[in-house]
Amino acid sequence: MSASELLLDESHMWVRVEDDDTAIMGLSDYAQDMMGEIIFAELPEDGAAIKRGDACGTLESVKSVEDLIAPASGEIIRVNEDALDAPELINEDPYGDGWLLEVKLEDPSELSSLMTEDEYDAFLDTLEGDIDNDDTF
């Protein structure tokens, strides 16, 4: 799968709409690349509520520990157990097998504030001058 099928957030999370009120979420290719080798993932349990803009998990890499910021609000339907067991999947296939959360969306209209791949690429271009050597993403 490519990013062209996804909506992306400034938090570097992506969303793929499955139907009117269900979406899959994961970490962008850019973010996984900036983090380096991901060695641990902590995700909310099924049934947990997430809120757009709030932390909804943590990823640990050899370089840093980063909060995952929810790109939309909703209820966790399923987490990717494979990514929990083998977090390297997030690096190897961030838009496929490395997905993180399946969410029943609380308000699908929140997705209108997310970016297309081209908009996200333009957003990343604005970050290039803002990133210090110590920052991941």
Each residue of 10-60: pLDDT tens digit? 999 999 999 889 999 999 999 999 999 999 999 999 999 999 999 999 999
**Average pLDDT in the chain:** 91
**Spatial strand order in the sheet of 74-79:** 7-8, 13-19, 22-27, 101-105, 74-79, 49-50
Kindly list the domain boundaries of the chain, sorted by start residue: 3-107
pLDDT over 50 (residue 85): yes
What is the band of 5 on the pLDDT scale with cuts at 50, 70, 90? confident
CATH match for 3-107 among 1.10.3720.10, 2.40.50.100, 3.40.50.11540, 3.10.450.50 = 2.40.50.100
Q: Considering only CA atoms, which of 103, 132, 120 is closest in space to residue 6?
A: 120
